[in-house]
Structure 1
Amino acid sequence: MSRKDQEQKIRTGKGFIAALDQSGGSTPKALRLYGISDDAWSNEEEMFDLIHQMRVRIATSPAFNGDRVIGAILFERTMDGQIAGKPSASYLWEEKGIVPFLKIDKGLEASENGVRLMKPIPDLDALLSRAIEAGIFGTKERSVIEAANRQGIAAIVDQQFELAGRVLDRGLVPIIEPEVLIDIADKAEAEEILREEILRHLNALPEGRDVMLKLSLPSQPDFYRPLIEHPRVMRVVALSGGYSREEANRLLAQNHGMIASFSRALTEGLSANQSDEEFNAALDRAIQSIYEASIT
């Protein structure tokens, strides 16, 4: 199966994209939620080993396959590691039929004009070369919107599309993620500005330069339909953004054509202390509920 098959799956496949890309900042919390306390590791290397074991347990579970999960976003260390004796990206595609993506952003700058831009990505070209070598289909890059500030949101979207252009130049598909924080007072206004800015950039893209978008669940159902239907958009996916899985699924089901790309809401209820049978059953229930919310 070729890259063309992967593209077809992402464009039209029924299901959602799993986000298995917790970075250094979010890993301790993810481990605590999984039942592993901070005293279980004494340095960053051990911490990343533990989160890799969690990701491997998810990826090798019978519940985790391409029938309901069409893609998975990997952390760089996960891409560099192995799952069941195979390079991670190869395992996902060849054994599970799941299209692999790579998180490439390196964290956020300090807040300015109501947004947090991405930090520079050193050695981006080398990282993209490694991704291509590993069989990665696309990338994901996150920045954050904290207020409905037009200047800030324009800057965030400019930066996202500039980086997306560099990713597209290498033949990979970028997932552009300008996250609007779900608890800000002017969330709906921020979404208005964001949609305008994204449409402005999309309208300037030439044919053959298609992107994906990862967006917070909007205040108004179907608000992002113009983006979902845009000819330069391969798929629009939703982040859970701090909502519980139940609430994220409820909101997602109201947004037709938008599919999930959940991280914490996917792993909610999973524990290192569960037997394989309990773990697989809990993961199966989580995947089924997110799948059902994604196919509305």
Structure 2
Amino acid sequence: MSNYAQELRETAQAMVAPGKGILAMDESNGTCNKRFEKLGIPATEDRRRAYRELILTTPKLSEFVSGAILFDETIRQSSKSGVPFTEVMKTAGLIIGIKVDTGAKDLAGCPEEKVTEGLDGLRDRVAEYYKMGARFAKWRAVITIGEGIPSSTCIEANAHALARYAALCQEGGLVPIVEPEVLIDGNHTIERCYEVTDETLQVVFNQLRLNKVPLDQIILKPSMVISGLACPTQAGVEQVAEMTIKCLRNNVPVTVPGVAFLSGGQTYEQSSAHLNTMNLKYGSLYPWRVTFSYARAIQQPALDHWRGDDANIPAAQQILYHRAKLNGAASLGQYTPDMEKAPVSV
């Protein structure tokens, strides 16, 4: 049992406190640069730093966000005035999180499939990040639905890596966010997504048990059960909520403190509406907190407004705060589409 067990339990509970979710701002430099290039923002370390400062200094963000997942570059950066981002976050009441995987790589023997790497040297990285103030971590596994895939090889390999990562994090004092993402890309039906998500979660929790990971000290970050983006028949909000909760209830043990969904290619409105319907209709049926760990679904509108121009920071922060507020409401089953039109004010 980890020396940090009590601290880990308390952190996990705080990460999914009522009305709050987790902000995923851990995109790699390459991904961040691609988003910048689309908007004509210079792909430089200075602009990445400025963008991350915009997010972390958004006034009152902690009303709806418990913590933020950072990339390695970000946890080492400071604000324009020289305050380390870790200190900025502590002052703002945000728990510091860190992405620790090194990305999804081609899985040998399994064409079109990926396995996430990063276990080598992870114990030492966890120790360093804990010293820097991090209290939770993230590792993302990627499962693709396609012709004849996912293979059981791919699901097992990713689940095993997730479990070993989780055990190493808990040993070193970080709450592991366990993220098995079934990708939305493809023409598969919601029923096919259900089958794959069901099998994936089953294998992930088997591996977590085999690797002696206490489940009251993790947060699950799954994808929703949803139609593939290219599927001609798109399931409605009610069906997505119903099938997602059914899948979770079949697989997620009661000891897990929280489920924080990724938005994974949904529109801003969809990701809020799906989360809201789950909590509104089924909130009394599950024992864990059900909330968000969104990236683009919260940040993209602010990034679109900012466009690298510091004169746009206050308005961009208001947009960010507004999206966080809507998802905070959705995590309590209190979101309505009318709130999308509400005036933005902090």
Interval containing the TM-score (normalised by the shorter chain): 0.7 to 0.9
Whether 2:103 is the aligned partner of 1:99: answer no
- Which residues of 2 match residues 23-42 of structure 1 at below 5 A? 23-32=28-37, 35-37=39-41, 40-41=42-43
**C-alpha contact 2:17 2:66 (8 A) present in aligned 1:** no
Q: Answer yes or no: is the 8 Å Cα contact 1:30–1:264 preserved in 2.
A: no
Contact 2:263/2:271 (CA < 8 Å) preserved in 1? yes
User: How much does 1:20 deviate?
Assistant: 1.0
Structure 2 CA distance, aligned partners of 1:158 and 1:54? Answer: 35
Q: Which amino acid aligns with 1:54?
A: Y
1:179 to 159, 177, 181: 181
Is residue 74 from structure 1 mapped to residue 84 from structure 2 by the alignment? no
Is the radius of gyration larger for structure 1 or structure 2? 2
Within 5 Å, which residues of 2 pair with 1:218-229? 218-219=225-226, 220-222=243-245, 223-226=247-250, 229=253
Q: 1:18 to 1:227 in 2, by over 3 A?
A: farther
Aligned residue number for residue 133 of structure 2: 135
TM-score (norm 2): 0.74
Deviation at 1:113, TM superposition (A): 6.4
Quick one: which amino acid aligns to residue 300 of structure 2? E
Question: Structure 1 stretches of 5 or more lacking a match?
Answer: none
The answer to whether the 8 Å contact 1:3/1:137 transfers is: no
Q: Which residue number in structure 2 is paired with residue 230 of structure 1?
A: 254
How far apart are 1:85 and its partner, in Å? 3.2
Matches within 5 A, 1:144-159: 144-147=142-145, 148-159=150-161
Structure 1 residues 190, 114: closer, same or farther in 2, change over 3 A? farther
The aligned counterpart of 2:285 is none
- Are residues 1:275 and 2:312 paired? yes
CA contact (8 A) 1:228 1:258 kept: no
Give the CA deviation at 1:169.
1.3
Deviation per CA, 1:238-272: give whole Å up to 9, x if none.
11111111111112223333211111111122222
CA distance in 2, matches of 1:265, 1:173: 23
> Which of 85, 90, 97 is the equivalent residue of 2:87?
90
Q: Which moved more, 1:141-150 or 1:130-139?
A: 141-150
Identity %: 23
Distance in 2 (CA, whole Å) between partners of 1:208 and 1:285 is 33
One-letter identity of the residue aligned with 1:104: V
220-229 vs 284-293, greater mean Cα deviation: 220-229
- Report deviation, 1:54: 0.5
Of the three residues 320, 323, 334, the one matched with 1:286 is 323
Amino acid at match of 1:100: I
Number of aligned residue pairs: give it. 284
Cα displacement (A) at 1:202: 4.5
What is the TM-score normalised by the length of structure 1?
A: 0.86
Quote how far apart the aligned CAs of 1:7 are.
4.4
Q: Say which of 213, 216, 220 aligns to 2:223.
A: 216
Q: How far apart, in 1, do the equivalents of 2:128 and 2:28 lie?
A: 18
Find the partner of 1:247 among 261, 270, 275: 270
Mark the CA change 1:262 to 1:206 in structure 2 (over 3 Å): closer, same or farther: closer
C-alpha separation in 1, matches of 2:141 and 2:331 = 23
Structure 2 contact 57–88 (Cα < 8 Å) conserved? no
CA RMSD in angstroms, aligned pairs only: 2.5
**Which AA in structure 2 matches 1:290?**
N
| 1:169 counterpart = 2:171 | yes
What secondary structure sits across from 2:105 in the alignment? coil
